[in-house]
């Protein structure tokens, strides 16, 4: 391996559509940080190790990663395994070896901090700490109503307000549990709204958390180049935070959707500092609304969205490992 960078890790996580990519792009603009594409594949590799730790030697691990369709999204041709400096390299060393190659591709070969903005990081923090004992985490929180407004039009994730409410609450619960378990020295909570409305103050707090000097370049959010596969859903990445996005959910959701969301999540929004519009006045979805939303989830989730996702993933169809890996991996992104 040509160098030992990066050798530190910052795992950003939270509910999808909470701004993890924006935050990664802002932190990645720091000269000491390299922000990689999302690395969902690492969880599958960790699971493979848990089941078959003896036979999965470094060459087999690298091969497993290379074949994984999620890694193909990185658009990175790996060096031969022989360039690994340690024939007995562990998973953390292999991931650093891969990220170092990505960093060189991006012109940041000396950046010591790997910034990984995969949303599911927050739900596997304990497992990640077993591999990276000194890793730090950011739990990114966003108003669940804004998350719902952002996710509903997409071809992955929840398709109805009822499912979006439960999905957001479940993911936010992972983050709150991690904060409680690992403590403030290891996990920092950042609110999306503060990141957008007070970016300098927020980035100064994050810089202090990382132990690096704050750099104004972080405000430009140019520290991540989205791969072609995710460009469509990351249209806002590469520019300064847009303050108009913060309350856009108020126009994108109907009053009834907002009311149902609040009924489904009870006081959870308030626990995170977001004022409720309806509170105890929020009416439960009627039988007709529940059945209608079930039908919508069935049609869009099981048919229309899967077709759209497969069409979008067409370049990956050429991979002989695509279907096998797709069965193992959550396709929510």
> Which residue would you say has higher pLDDT here, 314 or 114?
114
Distance from C-alpha of 236 to C-alpha of 228, rounded to nearest angstrom = 14
8-state DSSP, 9: E
Q: Kindly state whether residue 289 falls inside one of the protein's structural domains.
A: yes
Tell me the average pLDDT across 242-249. 92
Domain holding 110, by residue range, is: 8-326
Instruction: Note if the bond before 93 is cis, omega within 30 degrees.
Output: no
Strand ranges of the sheet holding 8-14, from the earlier edge strand across to the other edge: 33-36, 113-116, 8-14, 136-141, 187-191
Contact 111, 103 (CB under 8 A): yes
Distance from C-alpha of 321 to C-alpha of 109, rounded to nearest angstrom = 30
pLDDT of the residue at 89: 81
Helix (H, G, I), strand (E, B) or coil at 116: strand
Please state which of the ranges 84-93, 109-118, 119-128 shows the lowest mean pLDDT.
84-93
Q: What are 190's strand-pairing partners?
A: 140
Count the Cβ atoms, other than its own, within 10 Å of residue 134: 9
pLDDT in tens, 161-204: 999 999 999 999 999 999 999 999 999 999 999 999 999 999 99
Structure tokens at 323: 């279907």
Write down the residue that tokens 């303050």 correspond to: 243
Sign (positive or negative) of CA dihedral 221, 222, 228, 231: positive
What residues contact 57, with CB distance under 8 A and at least 6 apart?
Answer: 88
The dihedrals phi and psi of 245, each to the nearest 5 degrees, come to: -75, -25
Tell me the average pLDDT across 209-216. 97
Is the per-residue pLDDT at 22 higher than 50?
yes
Report the Cα 323 to chain-centroid distance in Å. 22
pLDDT of the residue at 331: 38
What residues contact 150, with CB distance under 8 A and at least 6 apart?
Answer: 17, 249
pLDDT in tens, 25-43: 999 999 999 999 999 999 9
What residues contact 180, with CB distance under 8 A and at least 6 apart?
Answer: none
Percent of the chain predicted with pLDDT > 70: 85
pLDDT in tens, 308-324: 666 666 565 555 454 44
Q: What are 140's strand-pairing partners?
A: 14, 190
Residue 228: CATH number of its domain: 3.40.50.300
Q: Kindly state whether residue 319 falls inside one of the protein's structural domains.
A: yes
pLDDT of the residue at 296: 85
Structure tokens at 326: 């797709």
What residues contact 315, with CB distance under 8 A and at least 6 apart?
Answer: 229
In 120-222, beta strands by DSSP E: 136-141, 187-191
Q: Would you state the torsion angle of the CA atoms of residues 191, 213, 210, 171, taken in this order, to the nearest 10 degrees?
A: 20
pLDDT of the residue at 52: 67
Q: Kindly state whether residue 83 falls inside one of the protein's structural domains.
A: yes
pLDDT of the residue at 256: 98
pLDDT of the residue at 297: 82
The dihedrals phi and psi of 68, each to the nearest 5 degrees, come to: -75, 130
Count up the domains in the chain and report the number: 1
Tell me the average pLDDT across 122-146. 97
Mean pLDDT, the chain, as a whole number? 88
Distance from C-alpha of 111 to C-alpha of 100, rounded to nearest angstrom = 9
The dihedrals phi and psi of 33, each to the nearest 5 degrees, come to: -125, 145
> Which residue would you say has higher pLDDT here, 328 or 170?
170
Q: Whole-model pTM?
A: 0.88
Q: Kindly state whether residue 227 falls inside one of the protein's structural domains.
A: yes
Q: Kindly state whether residue 333 falls inside one of the protein's structural domains.
A: no
**Confidence at 329, pLDDT banded by 50, 70, 90:** very low
Which of 301, 268, 292, 291 is closest to 151 using CA atoms?
301
**Confidence at 125, pLDDT banded by 50, 70, 90:** very high
Contact 108, 84 (CB under 8 A): no
Contact 10, 204 (CB under 8 A): no
């Amino acid at each position: 391996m040509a160098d030992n960078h990066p050798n530190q890790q910052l795992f950003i996580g939270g509910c999808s559509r909470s701004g993890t990519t924006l935050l990664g792009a802002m932190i990645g603009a720091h000269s000491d940080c390299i922000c990689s594409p999302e690395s969902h594949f690492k969880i599958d590799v960790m699971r493979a190790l848990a089941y078959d730790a003896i036979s999965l030697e470094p060459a087999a691990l690298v091969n497993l990663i290379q074949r994984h369709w999620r890694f193909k999204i990185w658009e990175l041709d790996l060096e031969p395994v022989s360039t690994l400096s340690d024939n007995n390299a562990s998973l953390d060393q292999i991931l650093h070896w891969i990220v170092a190659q990505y960093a060189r591709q991006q012109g940041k070969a000396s950046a010591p901090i790997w910034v990984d903005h995969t949303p599911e990081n927050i739900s596997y923090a304990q497992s990640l700490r077993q591999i990276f004992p000194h890793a730090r985490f950011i739990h990114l929180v966003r108003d669940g109503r804004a998350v719902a407004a952002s996710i509903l039009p997409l071809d992955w994730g929840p398709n109805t307000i009822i499912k979006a409410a439960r999905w957001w609450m479940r993911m936010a619960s992972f983050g709150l549990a991690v904060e409680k378990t690992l403590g403030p020295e290891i996990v920092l909570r950042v609110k999306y709204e503060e990141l957008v409305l007070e970016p300098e103050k927020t980035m100064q707090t994050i810089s202090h958390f990382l132990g690096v000097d704050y750099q104004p370049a972080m405000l430009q959010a140019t520290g991540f180049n989205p791969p072609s596969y995710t460009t469509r859903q990351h249209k806002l990445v590469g520019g300064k935070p847009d303050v108009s996005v913060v309350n856009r959910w108020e126009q994108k959701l109907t009053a009834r959707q907002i009311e149902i969301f609040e009924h489904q999540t009870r006081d959870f929004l308030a626990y995170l500092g977001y004022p409720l519009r309806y509170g105890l006045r929020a009416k439960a979805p009627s039988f007709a609304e529940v059945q209608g939303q079930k039908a919508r989830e069935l049609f869009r989730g099981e048919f229309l969205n899967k077709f759209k996702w497969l069409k979008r993933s067409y370049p990956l169809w050429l991979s002989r490992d695509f279907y096998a890996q797709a069965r193992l991996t959550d396709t929510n992104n």
